Structure 1
Amino acid sequence: MDTEKKPLRADARRNYERLLEEARHAFAAHGVEASLEEIARRAGVGIGTLYRHFPTREALVETVLRDRFDGQAAKARELLDSPEPLDALRTWLAGMGAESARYRGLPELMVDVLDDETSPLYASCHAMRDGVSHLMERAKVSGGLRADVTVDELLVLLHALSWASEHLSGDKGLERLVDLVFAGLRAS
């Protein structure tokens, strides 16, 4: 059985790209629970066209976020060469926190899919989890990070910070929260 996707016709490719663009705008403005009907309408297609390209909301969210998540996984790999492991971990967390805060509801969705192997977001989330896990290990070995902190605890904290930053005024809210959390994560 051939599992490769056929290339899209030109009109189908345009519809696909318009749907992604409208989804990016809708998710940024209204969160990941934005109306799929509205996304389809703004893209100039019917809801059936949206569902042909993206059979579930998670499939659409995953497609919109895949490049960003892959970028965060790559950033974690780059930061492994940093001479200051704890600073590298903080840099990654601040960047990922900013990505998570970009779309309301994304932190909750990411926490939910970390254990759901059937989710389209599972692979992307786990690539990021693996990246931050390596950064954490370096920070622990260097003596900068508490040895008892787990990657799952750190990711839950990150998602909580992203959620909380939505409710703070000013553009430095997330940075301030990351600084406060890092004060507690440092090894004595």
Structure 2
Amino acid sequence: MADEAERPLRADARRNRDKILTAAVRVFAAHGLDAHLERIAKEAGVGSATLYRNFPTREALVEAVYRNEVANLCEAAPALLAEQPPLEALRAWTRLFLDYVTTKYGMIDALRAIAATGNSPYGHSREMIQVALSALMDACVAAGTIRTDISPTDMAAALEGIALTSAGSEHRQQAERLLDLTLDGLKTGA
């Protein structure tokens, strides 16, 4: 089985897996643990057998969605820095962080259940996020746009606090206002 997991997927199999993960994010965010795997398969445009071939259990799907969301969030940092000035890249990334937390919030009970079995879906996610945030903040410091006395750890705590108190689409505007307030406070001369 380990050899099967390490073997690269064919292009069509990879597309199906990606479609399942994308659909699962939407369905889990909307329905949480009540999400039916058949609904995810239908929204992904694949059959149930394809879903179960990729993810034999609900827990395997939840863990894969979570890991994929962390990877997407972290991979966005260098891409944003390549496309935008550092402060705007940081601002855009904080919005992606809210999306990530909203997705995670929809799956939190499932993630806790997985963690209770001894299989931590979190792995190195906190460290990966910290590295991405550090790269963004370092670029801002180098550009002279943010203060140097705020650490990435402090900023991560602020982001987590905003996300936890404002999780959910009904609080999105408030969360974005709080992010703007926090980012304004980071600016040099603030």
Asked if TM exceeds 0.5, the reply is yes
In the alignment, which residue of structure 2 is the partner of 1:13? Answer: none
1:30/1:149 CA distance change after superposition, 3 Å: farther
Task: Supply the RMSD in Å over aligned alpha carbons.
Answer: 4.0
In the alignment, which residue of structure 2 is the partner of 1:12? Answer: none
Q: Deviations over 1:84-132 (max 9, x none)?
A: 211111111112112212342779x99xxxxxxx733223443332122
Asked if 1:149 corresponds to 2:162, the answer is: no
Number of matched residues? 163
Which residue identity does 2:129 align to in structure 1?
A: M
- 1:1-150 correspondence to structure 2 within 5 Å: 3-5=2-4, 24=25, 27-29=28-30, 31=32, 34=33, 53=56, 60-82=61-83, 84-104=85-105, 119-150=120-151
Structure 2 spans left out of the alignment, 5+ residues: 8-16, 42-47, 112-118
Q: Which has the higher helix share?
A: 2
User: Could you tell me the percent identity over the aligned residues?
Assistant: 27
- State TM-score, norm by structure 2: 0.62
- State TM-score, norm by structure 1: 0.62
Q: Deviations over 1:122-170 (max 9, x none)?
A: 2344333212211111111222122122222212211221222237846
Check whether the contact 1:73–1:128 (CA below 8 A) recurs between aligned residues.
yes
Using the TM superposition, give the Cα deviation of residue 178 of structure 1 relative to its aligned residue in structure 2, in angstroms.
0.9
State the SS of the aligned residue for 2:150.
Answer: coil
Check whether the contact 2:30–2:106 (CA below 8 A) recurs between aligned residues.
no
Structure 1 spans left out of the alignment, 5+ residues: 8-15, 111-117
1:152/1:119 CA distance change after superposition, 3 Å: farther
Check whether the contact 2:86–2:139 (CA below 8 A) recurs between aligned residues.
yes
In the alignment, which residue of structure 1 is the partner of 2:167? Answer: 166
State the SS of the aligned residue for 2:100.
Answer: helix
